[in-house]
Structure 1
């Protein structure tokens, strides 16, 4: 029982509180349920949110539509730009093709023009060449006719003078002549021709570096001392030269026109003709045949010192005058030398013209001067053509007979 009373006493405050609360609940004004208000608030908020979401969605959709429209506009613009560029490219391509076509047409026209010009020039050249050929043929025919006429006239003139046509030696005659003159392969064979007293033998001695009185010298004299070809070797064994002294004109009982072949002059490397005052018929025959056989010839006027001294004496020089004569002698020598060389060259030119032979040089020499150059290897102050004669003689022989070392294998 006591336990029950204790429990009831403990519950009294609670009961009182409950009664008070019930009384308050009964008497106090009642507000709306906050939960419902909260629910409404939340619902309103949710509605607003929903509306905001809808607005946002609409705005997003509008934005997306705007983006799509912008993108579409951009695509259309890009397509338009591409189309414009394509159109530009097409225009440029057509322009390029038209330009290239125009250039090709221009080049073709230019080439056609050039071809036409070339064809015209070629035709002109062909016509000119044909004309030149015709002119040359006409000229050749005229020259041939003139040559034939001249040959006929020369033949008639030669027959009148007793000069016969050139006769070509046979191989047997060439071999026989080589044996007769003791021709040696590898040597140079130089022949000297001239009338008696022209200084022919003295010239040969000077070429060989000998005085006329030296042992082995060619015989000299005013009358012809050579009736047959004399073969004279060079005293200097290092020189591959052989010198031949030919019989002078009028010393042999053979016609002048036969002299060249009869003496076998066609085997020599050159013929030196010692000129006196005028060409003999033998000299003319030698020059004519040498020209025919392409054998070099050298016209030489020797004894220049003697001739110049004679002119000096004619002009008043006296070697017995006093010492003042030295200056006068030099002046007289210079004048006499110039006179002698001028007269000699004019004389040779006239003789060649009279013989109907081409003009050629004459070498004016002194045998003493030539001897000094060959033997003593000095250059005298009174040289005229001696050194040039040696140069031309040996240069021609070398060019005709020698093989240049650079051409040897």
Structure 2
């Protein structure tokens, strides 16, 4: 350093260089800004172009969709039109086919009719030919017949004379029988027995209405002489005791003066029981009994017999047979009769050492044998077919009806079974 000049910075040059650098930087920045603006503008223009293109594409797509929908609708409309045309064509074809079939049927029927008429014409021609042939034969036969008629006339006259003689004999016999019948009828009327009379249709209708005859039910009349135990039997058949409120009235004297109707208490039993007034009383004479009580309208008749078989019992069975009505012969109060027989053969209820069971068995067997024999004999004498007699105890019968089967039974179960079978056959 000793004597040389010192080196100082050229600040002016530095400043100018700095200014120049700043100017260049500004120019570069401005150029960059303009370039960026141009790029942004170009980008915006490109974006706008793309937007317009997208919008145009959307409108084209919507237009294409609308066109496709229109074409699809047009296709559907065309398909529907074709379907309707096909249906019309099928209907027309079906109508044509049916018309053709109808015409074919008509033609076939006309052909068949013509064939029948032709066949009938052939039959008529053959019949005419046969008639002509028969006429010729008939003419020949008529000639022969007239010849035979002349020969038979004498025989006929002879036969007429013989027939007249026989007719005179028959008329005489009929007159004799008529006179006998009149005498028999007069005898019956004098004896208090009315001749058999067939009820009229009006009487049938009136009595059916009177007893309330109902379809589907079996109507049973309990009949017999007065005091034979009809009302008690009605109660037993219905499973009732004599003292029940809805039981038939019973008593020593005849208590039933009109036919009393008693439906069976069990709804499943289609029976209706009728307590019929007893025959042989002053109020109901024997000769008025069967017809006047309308017994001919019942489905079944039970004839209750007493100690002996009477003419009334015979009349009841005969009329039931005449009208085709099933009839049962029943003798009730069997327990009372057996007790009486036990006493007759020596049983004493006060004797504690007595064999009651043995006496009961003997009395029962005797009662059954005597009653059966008596009824059989009376049926034979009345010229009626043999039929069983049902020996029943009202107590045992009432128990059997209500399901309380008693130890000592006679024909109670058989009577109920046979009644049910008869009702089933008549249903």
TM-score of the pair, normalised by structure 1: 0.57
Q: Which of the residues 312, 335, 338 maps onto 2:362?
A: 335
3-state DSSP of counterpart to 2:233 = helix
Q: Mind listing any 5+ residue stretches in structure 1 that lack a counterpart?
A: 1-147, 402-409
Cα displacement string for residues 363-399 of structure 1 (whole angstroms, at most 9, x for unaligned residues): 0000000011001x13322111111111111101211
- Partner of 1:299, secondary structure, is strand
Do residues 351 (structure 1) and 378 (structure 2) align? yes
Q: How does 1:155-194 map onto structure 2 within 5 Å? A: 158=188, 161-194=191-224
2:294 to 247, 264, 279: 264
Quick check: which has more Rg, 1 or 2?
1
Q: CA deviation at 1:247?
A: 0.6
Is this contact kept in 1: 2:279–2:285, CA < 8 A?
A: no
8 Å contact 1:372–1:379 — kept in the other structure? Answer: yes
Q: Residue 372 of structure 1 is aligned with which of 399, 405, 416? A: 399
Cα deviation 1:168-217 (Å, max 9, x = unaligned)? 21211111111111111111111001223221111110100000011200
Q: Distance in 2 between matches of 1:269 and 1:276?
A: 23
Number of aligned residue pairs: 250
User: Aligned equivalents of 2:253 and 2:284: distance in 1?
Assistant: 19
Tell me the equivalent position of 2:101.
Answer: none
Residues 173/245 of structure 1: CA separation in 2 closer, same or farther (3 Å cut): same
Runs of 4+ with >6 A deviation: 151-154
Deviates more, 1:279-288 or 1:340-349: 279-288
- 337, 358, 362: which is aligned to 1:307? 337
Alignment counterpart, residue 304 of structure 2, candidates 266, 274, 286: 274
Give the TM-score normalised by structure 2.
0.55
Pick closer, same or farther for the CA change 1:164–1:210 going to 2, 3 Å.
same
- Distance in 1 (CA, whole Å) between partners of 2:409 and 2:396 is 6
8 Å contact kept, 1:227–1:252:
no
| Distance in 2 between residues matched to 1:313 and 1:319, nearest whole Å | 9
Alignment of 1:100-139 (within 5 A): none
Q: 2:391 & 2:181 partners in 1: Cα distance?
A: 35
TM-superposition CA deviations, 1:259-283 (whole Å, max 9, x none) = 2111111111111011002233332
Indicate if the aligned counterparts of 1:155 and 1:165 stay in contact, CA closer than 8 A. no
CA contact (8 A) 2:335 2:393 kept: yes
Q: Which residue is equivalent to 2:413?
A: 387
Any stretches of 5+ residues in structure 2 without a counterpart? 1-176
SS of 2:262's equivalent in the other structure is strand
Change (3 A) 1:154 1:249: farther
